[in-house]
Amino acid sequence: MIPLLMAVHVLGVVLWIGGVAFVTIIVFPMLTRIEGSIEKVIFFQGVEHRFAKIVKICVAIVGITGGWLLSITDGWSRLFTWHGIGITLMLIVWIFYLLVLLFEGRFFRIIFKGAAQQDMSKIFMKLTAFHWLILGLSLLTIFLAVFAENGGI
Ligand code: HEM
């Protein structure tokens, strides 16, 4: 059971974090080249809306398989220890994304409130910084998870 759960877990991670990397590295620089605030917002929300559906499925799959793996391997005792830094970060990243997805609607309403009057490039700079932050944290988690699992820690 463990190999199957691990394979599905990692597939979910690849689709999810790969998508975050694509949005951060490809979509955001494209946005800066789009003229007009409203066009920017429409394009951005179109991409995020489609991507959010995929992410929700991935977050569910990764959470279920991850929790299952923890139970089978009695990994709960490794949480919040130095050797369990990989799984501890996984849990933190997962909870963080879950909160972002749960409050996504409210989050966007606050960000784009009165967008026409605001300087959109400043808003998109903040959004870009936020995406780089979560991408960096996710990549660090993957790095440490694989490093620790292969005897690095
Ligand atoms: C509820 C959230 C999660 C739980 C409970 C969880 C749990 C686990 C467990 C128990 C393993 C088996 C390896 C080990 O025991 O160290 C594992 C593997 C892995 N997880 Fe997670 N995980 C979660 C979320 C994530 C997230 C968000 C990421 C990526 C950002 C991630 C990336 C990985 C990777 C890359 C492996 C393979 C490591 C290797 O064996 O080389 N996991 N996860």
60, 67, 113, 142 from 149: Cα distances, Å: 23, 17, 45, 10
The CA distance from 78 to 31, in Å, is: 42
Q: In angstroms, what is the span from residue 32 Cα to ligand 1's centroid?
A: 34
Q: Measure 40 CA to ligand 1 centroid, in angstroms.
A: 35
Q: What's the pLDDT score for residue 107?
A: 79
- The string of pLDDT tens digits covering residues 10-54 is 999 999 999 999 999 999 999 888 887 788 888 888 898 889 889
pLDDT the model gives residue 147:
94
Give the domain ranges of the chain: 2-149
**Residue 115 vs residue 88, higher pLDDT:** 88
CA of 66 to the centre of ligand 1 (A): 6
The structure tokens listed for 19 are 């998508």
Residues contacting ligand 1 via CB (< 6 Å): 9-10, 13, 17, 62-63, 66-67, 69-70, 73, 75, 86-87, 90-91, 93-94, 138, 141-142, 145-146, 149
pLDDT tens digits along 121-133: 788 888 899 999 9
- Name the pTM for this structure: 0.91
pLDDT confidence tier of residue 118, bands split at 50, 70 and 90: low
Give 50: exposed, middle or buried? Use CB within 10 Å, 0-12, 13-18, 19+.
exposed
pLDDT of 115: 60
